[in-house]
Structures are given as structure tokens and as C-alpha cells.
Amino acid sequence: MSRAKGFAFALGSVALVSGAQLGMRWSMTRLPAPDQWLSALSAGNVDLAALALVIAAIGAYALSMLCWLLALRDLPLGRAYSLLSISYALVYLLAASLPLFNEPFTLSKSLGVALVILGVITINSRSAPATSPRNTP
């Protein structure tokens, strides 16, 4: 594997976890509290599409973890971990820009997102060592 594949897997993890967060947010605004799901299901008062999206989001989290593990094979932990913070920015920007989430843009949140992105760029702009030490038998 290569560093490029490591970045691709890390960004895949970011995309999956961001999609999962947005899907869960949308779903949970349409579902009763989780402790009421069984009674609501038996009464037929559950939005099945929202429930299916919660289940899909959990699957996206599992795939995100797989991508994360694959990314760690080729990226230094500090670099890989910084890339995960892109999901915070992505979730905020999508939630604030898509009308179905009804989240407002604010100056303080936008400034925070800009600082996160600046940090990710700063951490990842330095060249990495050509090889990383690994435990080999």
C-alpha cells in the first residue's frame, strides 16, 4: 500500500462518518425516543425510512472503521488523526447549507471550522518521512 491509498482510506472514513452523522440527525428528528421504538413499532407509529437510515448509518460507521484501520497501515497516526477532524467541518458545512437540517451558519462556528481546516492543512503540508518503522518478524 502507499501513502496515497492511506489518504484515500482516511478520506473515505471521513465521508462515511460524516454521512452517518447527517443521516442520524435527519432520522432522529423523525423518530420517537429510542426507548419508545418498540411500542411505537407495534403501534405502527414509526417512520420506517428514518429507522432504515439509522441502521444504514450504523453500517456506515462500521465501514468507516474499516477504512480507518486501512488508513493506519500507511499513514502516521498524527497525520491520519488530523484528517478525521475534517468530518467536523464537513458535517457543519452540510448541515448549515442543506435546508432539511435547518442549522444556522454562525460566525463563531464558521471561524472554528476554518481553524480546524487550517490545522489539518498545517499538519499535512509538511513532508512525511519516506518510511515508517514497522514491527517485522
Q: Which residue pairs from 99-103 have beta carbons closer than 8 angstroms and sit at least 24 positions apart in sequence? A: 100/26, 101/22, 101/25, 101/26
* 11-31 mean pLDDT: 95
110 within domain boundaries: no
117 within domain boundaries: no
Q: What is the pLDDT of residues 83-123, one digit of tens each?
A: 888 999 999 999 999 999 989 999 999 999 999 999 889 88
| Residues contacting residue 113 through CB under 8 Å, at least 6 positions apart | 88, 89, 92, 93
| Calpha distance 68→116 (Å, rounded) | 19
47 within domain boundaries: yes
115 within domain boundaries: no
Q: How many domains does the chain have?
A: 1
Q: What is the pLDDT of residues 68-79, one digit of tens each?
A: 999 999 999 888
| Residue 83 near residue 124, CB atoms below 8 Å | yes
Query: Domain range spanning residue 59?
Result: 3-101
* Whole-number CA gyration radius for the chain: 19
pTM of the predicted structure, to 2 decimals: 0.81
pLDDT beyond 80 at 81:
yes
pLDDT beyond 90 at 3:
no
